[in-house]
Chains A and B, each alone.
Chain A
Amino acid sequence: MYKQIRNTVVALAAVCAMAGTAGAGTLINGAGATFPYPIYSKWFNEYAKIDTSVKFNYQSIGSGGGIKQITAQTVDFGASDKFLTDAELKAAPGRLIHIPTVMGAVVITYNVPGVKTGLKLTAEDVSGIYLGKITQWNDPRIAAANPGVRLPAKPIIVVHRSDGSGTTAIFTDYLSTVSPEWKSRVGMGTSVRWPAGLGGKGNEGVAGQVKITAYSVGYVELAYAFENRLPFATVKNRDGRYVVPSIKSTTAAAAGAARHMPADYRVSLVNQPGKDAYPIAGFTWLLVYENQKDKVKGKKLVEFLRWELKKGQKLAAPLLYAPLPPNVVRMVEKTIAGIR
Chain B
Amino acid sequence: MNRFDTNRMEAIVSHEEQLRDTVSAGGFSGDRIFRMITLGFALSIILILLLITIGMAVESIPALKQFGWRFITGANWDAVQGRFGALPYIWGSIVSSLLAIVAATPLAVGTALFITEIAPKKLGGAIASLVELLAAIPSVIYGLWGILVMIPWLQQTVEPFLVDHFGFLPFFRGAPYGVGMLAAVMIIMIMIIPIITSITKEVLLTVPVSQKEAAVALGATTWETIRMAVLPYGRSGILGAVVLGLGRAIGETMAVTMVIGNTPQISLSLLDPAYTMPSVIANEFAEASSNLHSSALMEIGLILLVMTLLINITARFLIWGVARQGAAGGRI
Residue of A nearest to B79 (CB): A191
When chains A and B are docked, how far (Å) is the Cα of A211 from the Cα of B179? 13
Is A212 an interface position by the 8 A CB rule?
A: yes
Is A291 an interface position by the 8 A CB rule?
A: no
Q: Are A192 and B283 in contact (CB under 8 A)?
A: no
Q: Are B289 and A162 in contact (CB under 8 A)?
A: no
Q: Are A192 and B175 in contact (CB under 8 A)?
A: no
Q: Which among B148, B175, B258 is the interface contact of A201 at CB below 8 angstroms? A: B258
Q: Are A164 and B80 in contact (CB under 8 A)?
A: no
- Chain B residues within 8 Å of A64, by CB: 286-289, 294
Q: Are B258 and A205 in contact (CB under 8 A)?
A: yes
Is A199 an interface position by the 8 A CB rule?
A: yes
Q: Which among A61, A162, A187, A194 is the interface contact of B286 at CB below 8 angstroms? A: A61
User: Closest CB-CB distance, A184 to chain B, in whole Å?
Assistant: 11
- Chain B residues within 8 Å of A213, by CB: 155, 177-178
User: Closest CB-CB distance, A68 to chain B, in whole Å?
Assistant: 9
Q: Are B257 and A162 in contact (CB under 8 A)?
A: yes
Q: Are A212 and B178 in contact (CB under 8 A)?
A: yes
Q: Are B76 and A193 in contact (CB under 8 A)?
A: yes
Is A284 an interface position by the 8 A CB rule?
A: no
Contact (A193, B258) CB under 8 Å given A64-B289, A209-B179: no
Total of A-B residue pairs, C-beta within 8 Å: 94
Q: Are A198 and B263 in contact (CB under 8 A)?
A: yes
When chains A and B are docked, how far (Å) is the Cα of A189 from the Cα of B261? 20
B-side interface residues, number (CB < 8 Å) = 32
Q: Which among B81, B283, B285, B289 is the interface contact of A82 at CB below 8 angstroms? A: B289
Q: Are A190 and B289 in contact (CB under 8 A)?
A: yes
When chains A and B are docked, how far (Å) is the Cα of A30 from the Cα of B155? 43
Contact (A198, B283) CB under 8 Å given A212-B151, A212-B152, A213-B155: no
Is A62 an interface position by the 8 A CB rule?
A: yes
Q: Which among B148, B178, B263, B287 is the interface contact of A191 at CB below 8 angstroms? A: B287
Q: Are B286 and A163 in contact (CB under 8 A)?
A: yes
Is B147 an interface position by the 8 A CB rule?
A: yes
- Chain A residues within 8 Å of B258, by CB: 201, 205
Q: Are B81 and A187 in contact (CB under 8 A)?
A: yes
Main SS of chain A's interface residues?
Answer: loop
- Chain B residues within 8 Å of A203, by CB: none
When chains A and B are docked, how far (Å) is the Cα of A194 from the Cα of B179? 17
- Chain B residues within 8 Å of A189, by CB: 79-80, 289
Is A157 an interface position by the 8 A CB rule?
A: yes
Interface range for A: 20 to 34
User: Closest CB-CB distance, B18 to chain A, in whole Å?
Assistant: 47
- Chain B residues within 8 Å of A222, by CB: none
Contact (A163, B287) CB under 8 Å given A155-B175, A192-B80, A213-B155: yes
When chains A and B are docked, how far (Å) is the Cα of A325 from the Cα of B175? 46
Is A101 an interface position by the 8 A CB rule?
A: no
Q: Are B286 and A62 in contact (CB under 8 A)?
A: yes
Per the 8 Å Cβ criterion, residues 246-288 of B in contact with A are: 257-258, 261-263, 273, 275, 279, 282-288
When chains A and B are docked, how far (Å) is the Cα of A177 from the Cα of B135? 48
Q: Which of B147, B273, B275 has the most CB of A within 10 A?
A: B147
When chains A and B are docked, how far (Å) is the Cα of A20 from the Cα of B261? 49
When chains A and B are docked, how far (Å) is the Cα of A209 from the Cα of B284? 19
Q: Are B262 and A190 in contact (CB under 8 A)?
A: no
User: Closest CB-CB distance, A171 to chain B, in whole Å?
Assistant: 13
Is A140 an interface position by the 8 A CB rule?
A: no
Is B77 an interface position by the 8 A CB rule?
A: yes
Q: Which of A62, A155, A157 has the most CB of B within 10 A?
A: A62
When chains A and B are docked, how far (Å) is the Cα of A193 from the Cα of B82? 11
- Chain A residues within 8 Å of B177, by CB: 157, 198, 213
Is A254 an interface position by the 8 A CB rule?
A: no
Q: Are B284 and A164 in contact (CB under 8 A)?
A: yes
- Chain B residues within 8 Å of A193, by CB: 76-81
Per-position binary interface string of chain A over residues 150-182, scored 1 when its CB falls under 8 Å from any chain B CB and 0 otherwise: 000001010000111110000000000000000
Contact (A163, B283) CB under 8 Å given A64-B288, A212-B152: yes
Q: Are B263 and A199 in contact (CB under 8 A)?
A: yes
- Chain A residues within 8 Å of B263, by CB: 194, 197-199
Contact (A187, B80) CB under 8 Å given A198-B262, A198-B263, A205-B147: yes
Is A67 an interface position by the 8 A CB rule?
A: yes
- Chain A residues within 8 Å of B262, by CB: 162, 198-201
Q: Are B148 and A208 in contact (CB under 8 A)?
A: yes
- Chain A residues within 8 Å of B151, by CB: 212
- Chain A residues within 8 Å of B286, by CB: 34, 61-62, 64-65, 163-164
Is A121 an interface position by the 8 A CB rule?
A: no
Contact (A186, B289) CB under 8 Å given A191-B284, A198-B177, A198-B273: no
- Chain A residues within 8 Å of B294, by CB: 64
When chains A and B are docked, how far (Å) is the Cα of A213 from the Cα of B286? 28
When chains A and B are docked, how far (Å) is the Cα of A205 from the Cα of B282? 14
User: Closest CB-CB distance, B258 to chain A, in whole Å?
Assistant: 6
Q: Are A201 and B78 in contact (CB under 8 A)?
A: no
Q: Which among B79, B147, B285 is the interface contact of A192 at CB below 8 angstroms? A: B79
User: Closest CB-CB distance, B280 to chain A, in whole Å?
Assistant: 9
Given A62-B287, A193-B76, 19 other A-B residues pairs in contact with their CB atoms under 8 A? A62-B286, A63-B287, A64-B287, A155-B175, A157-B175, A163-B282, A163-B283, A189-B80, A190-B287, A192-B78, A197-B263, A198-B263, A199-B263, A199-B283, A201-B262, A201-B283, A205-B258, A209-B179, A213-B178
Spell out B's residues near A (CB within 8 Å): 76-81, 147-148, 151-152, 155, 175, 177-179, 257-258, 261-263, 273, 275, 279, 282-289, 294
What would 15 A/B residue contacts be, using CB atoms closer than 8 Å? A64-B289, A82-B289, A163-B286, A164-B286, A164-B288, A165-B287, A187-B80, A189-B289, A191-B79, A191-B288, A193-B81, A198-B261, A199-B263, A200-B262, A212-B155
